[in-house]
Chain A
Amino acid sequence: MEYENRQPTEGINVTHENPVKKLLVYTVATVILLMTVFFVFSFLGGWAARSISFSTEVKIMESVGGDVEKMMGVDSSGPDFLERKAALNDLAVRVMANMDIPDSMHITVHYVDDDVFNAFATLGGHVFFYRGLIEQMPHENALAMVMAHEIAHEIHRDPISGLGGGLTAKIILSAAFGTSGIAGDLSAITSAVGGANFTRRMETRADHTAITAVNRLYGHVAGADALFKLLDKKAGDGDEPGWAEAFLRTHPLNRKRVQAIHETAKENGWETTGDTIELPEALKFEPVAAD
Chain B
Amino acid sequence: MFNLVVICILLLVGLVFGKMAEKKHLKSIIKRENQLNALPAIASRYPPSGDNVGPYRQLLVTGNVVIASDYFKTFLSGLINIFGGRVTPFESLLDRARREAMLRMKASADAVNAEFVFNVKYQTATIQQKGSGAIEVLAYGTALIPERR
Contact = CB atoms under 8 A, between A and B. Distances in A.
A4 interface: yes
A10 to B, nearest CB: 8
Contacts of B140: none
A29 B11 CA distance: 18
Interface residues of B, number: 40
A243 interface: no
Contacts of B50: 1
Interface in B31-53: 33-34, 37-42, 48-50, 53
Given A19-B76, A182-B79, A5 B40 contact: yes
Interface in A4-57: 4-5, 7-8, 10, 13-15, 17, 19-20, 22-23, 26-27, 29-30, 33
B83 A29 contact: yes
Contact of A4 (B1, B40, B74, B81): B40
Interface residues of A, number: 30
B15 interface: yes
Interface of B: 1, 3-4, 7, 11, 15, 30, 33-34, 37-42, 48-50, 53, 72, 74-76, 78-83, 86, 88-89, 91-92, 94-95, 99, 116, 130-131
Interface of A: 1, 3-5, 7-8, 10, 13-15, 17, 19-20, 22-23, 26-27, 29-30, 33, 177, 180-183, 185, 188-189, 244, 248
